[in-house]
Amino acid sequence: MSKRSSAEARAERAAAALAEQRRQERRRTMLSIIGVVVAMAVIVVGGFLISQRNGGGPSKEAGSTPAAGTTSVTIGSADAPHKVVIWEDFLCPFCGELEKRTSDRLAAAAASGKVQVTYRPFNLLDTDYSQQSLEVFAATQRIAGDDVAKKLHDVLYAQQPDESAPDDWPSQDDLVDVAVKAGADRTKVQDAIDNGDATTWADASTQAAADAGVRSTPTVLLDGSEVTGRTVDDIAASLLQSVGA
């Protein structure tokens, strides 16, 4: 074999070896990416399952009529064949997902007399945003009534901030602006916040959740029994099917 042929052969072998090395590196990179994605999925689902299980299930009181002094908003007739109660925190991302999947269909079912739905927000996450949004909601519901409060409720979820980015959370003044756009009176809502009434109403709602054994969000009750599932999608699908929504 000539020197030229030998050199060409070595070059070809080197190129083949380099190509194989790069193929193996791409494979390892892809496997690493897949591993990270799977791990993240396990963490998310696992986190949801843990949030559903911690502290046991809610008591019968969780599905009962809200006590005086607490804050809630109800849609649908009291004569509807099904009663749904949804305990929630305005910052809870799982609550936001449930809202996306069920809000419109539950509203339509309530309007057609199939179900009555009571939304019971409280401060589960113990954050400034959870408390401040709850106070603004409580003041709005007391001052402007359920129709305006439901509009505010829906907007708070449509504009829900990222739980992990507190620097980007709206201020309470921003939340009052949202309430005013929903139809609340700015002066009356602000007065309720300034004189402490809104805090009293919000704290009563959070205490009611604790008394009822509600320790995770969303907690959904249908005719007094908790609707459970491995994921928010499972809970939403089961709820909507059960009420014919």
The verdict on pTM exceeding 0.85 is: no
As a whole number, mean pLDDT of residues 74-82 equals 96
Q: Which residues pair with 121 in a beta bridge?
A: 88
pLDDT value at 197 more than 70:
yes
Who's near 134: CB < 8 A, 6+ residues apart? Answer: 71, 90, 121, 122, 123, 202, 205, 206
Residues 88 and 117: beta-carbon distance below 8 Å: no
Q: Tell me if 201 sits within 8 A of 207, measured CB to CB.
A: no
Q: SS3 helix, strand, coil % of the chain, rounded to 5?
A: 65, 10, 30
Confidence at 53, pLDDT banded by 50, 70, 90: very low
Q: Which helix (H) or strand (E) holds 16?
A: helix 3-53
Burial (Cβ within 10 Å: 0-12, 13-18, ≥19) of residue 23: exposed
User: 60-243: CATH homologous superfamily?
Assistant: Glutaredoxin (3.40.30.10)
Does residue 3 register a pLDDT over 80?
A: no
Reported as a pLDDT band with limits 50, 70 and 90, residue 139 is very high
Q: What is the model's pLDDT at position 70?
A: 82
**Domain ranges for the chain:** 1-53, 60-243
The mean pLDDT of 9-27, rounded to a whole number, is: 57
Angle formed at CA 101 by CA 154 and CA 40, multiple of 5 degrees? 110
